[in-house]
Amino acid sequence: MSEIRNLINITDLTVEEIDGLIATADDIVANHSAYENICAHKKLATLFFEPSTRTRLSFEAAMLELGGSVLGFSSANSSSAAKGESVSDTIQTVGCYVDIIAMRHPKEGAPIVGAQRTTVPIINAGDGGHFHPTQTLTDLLTIKRKKGRLNNMTIGLCGDLKFGRTVHSLIEAMLRYEGIKFVLISPQELAVPEYIKEKMNAAGAEWKEVETLEEAMPELDILYMTRVQKERFFNEEDYIRLKDSYILDLDKLQTAKEDLTIMHPLPRVNEISVEVDDDPRACYFFQALCGKHIRMALILFLLGIKREA
């Protein structure tokens, strides 16, 4: 029997495996009909103990487009978690019904606990302020499609770099590529956690912290905006004080490169003005589409299914 693979952190995948997922995602677009029934009789459970639009629905759309079926819940309140059931009991039960599970949970490490109690692959669809590896795969596919490469570029990460799990996962992923420089744009209170800085230092990465978008803008190839994570704050006052720290508008883009790629994992609140949406450099809805393609590739990979040549 082959080993069960889970995706808890982006580093669970080798660079070669990520390259393979990107190649499959592109093949899915080029040869869509070859994938239409490839997951017939397979079932995906989406267990979302926290709200989501893109991650949950793109996973479900991905499985449906592969010819499989989906079941699950979209809030803890509509599952037996509301009656006090543990994560491990929920996962052990659902593992009896489906072939693969994508789960989101507010507690860091919950997907690891879940993975210990089932023999079906577990995908971490976001655990607290920790990691969001399928968003990172989405981001890597977006960057590859827009830039044609994943190395030799300057990436600005802006906003809530403390609680923003997408930022933590993306930095970890990009540390494995050559010639990446990180510009971390945040108020001091929302700076990247020390353990991420230690990882950047250990990898010998070039990085700096700045507090304004204006000073970073001219050198950036990628600008990755993020929302201030209201749900992770302990007090409302701090959230209100920090929530509009950065608002990207057309004025601020005046000093940006013409081929800048503007990304955002979404949902956005105020951090990108809607006037930016029509700028050709805005890629965040294209990014959401990439999320479906890469999740299709990931489901196939974890289920060990390949299309026939």
Q: How many Cβ atoms sit within 10 Å of the Cβ of residue 281? A: 16
| One-letter identity of residue 128 | G
| From 9, 90, 124, 135, residue interacting with ligand CP (rule: CB under 6 A) | 135
Print burial letters for 230-254: b (CB count within 10 Å at least 16), e (below 16): eeebeeeeebeebbebbebeeebbe
Binding of residue 282 to ligand CP (CB under 6 A): no
| From 68, 114, 129, 265, residue interacting with ligand CP (rule: CB under 6 A) | 265
CA distance 30 to 37: 16
The two three-digit tokens of residue 94, written as one number: 């659902």
In the annotation, is 83 catalytic? yes
In the annotation, is 132 catalytic? yes
Nearer residue to ligand CP within complex by CB, 266 or 272: 266
Active-site option among 132, 165, 268, 293? 132
Residue 292 Cβ, how far from ligand CP at the closest point, in Å? 12
Active-site option among 24, 43, 46, 54? 54
Residue 152 Cβ, how far from ligand CP at the closest point, in Å? 26
Nearer residue to ligand CP within complex by CB, 58 or 207: 58
Judged by CB under 6 A, the stretch of 13-21, 116-124, 237-245, 259-267 that binds ligand CP is 259-267
| From 31, 37, 53, 270, residue interacting with ligand CP (rule: CB under 6 A) | 53
* Number of chain residues interacting with ligand CP (CB under 6 A): 9
Residue 46 Cβ, how far from ligand CP at the closest point, in Å? 11
Burial class (CB in 10 A: 0-12, 13-18, 19+), 88: middle
> Could you give the 3-state DSSP secondary structure of residue 263?
strand
CA distance 264 to 286: 10
| One-letter identity of residue 76 | A
Nearer residue to ligand CP within complex by CB, 99 or 139: 139
The residues, any chain, with a CB within 8 Å of residue 88's CB and separated by 6 or more, are: 113, 114, 116, 117
Please report, as ranges, the residues that interact with ligand CP according to CB under 6 A.
Answer: 52-55, 126, 135, 265-267
Just list the catalytic residues: 54-55, 83, 104, 132
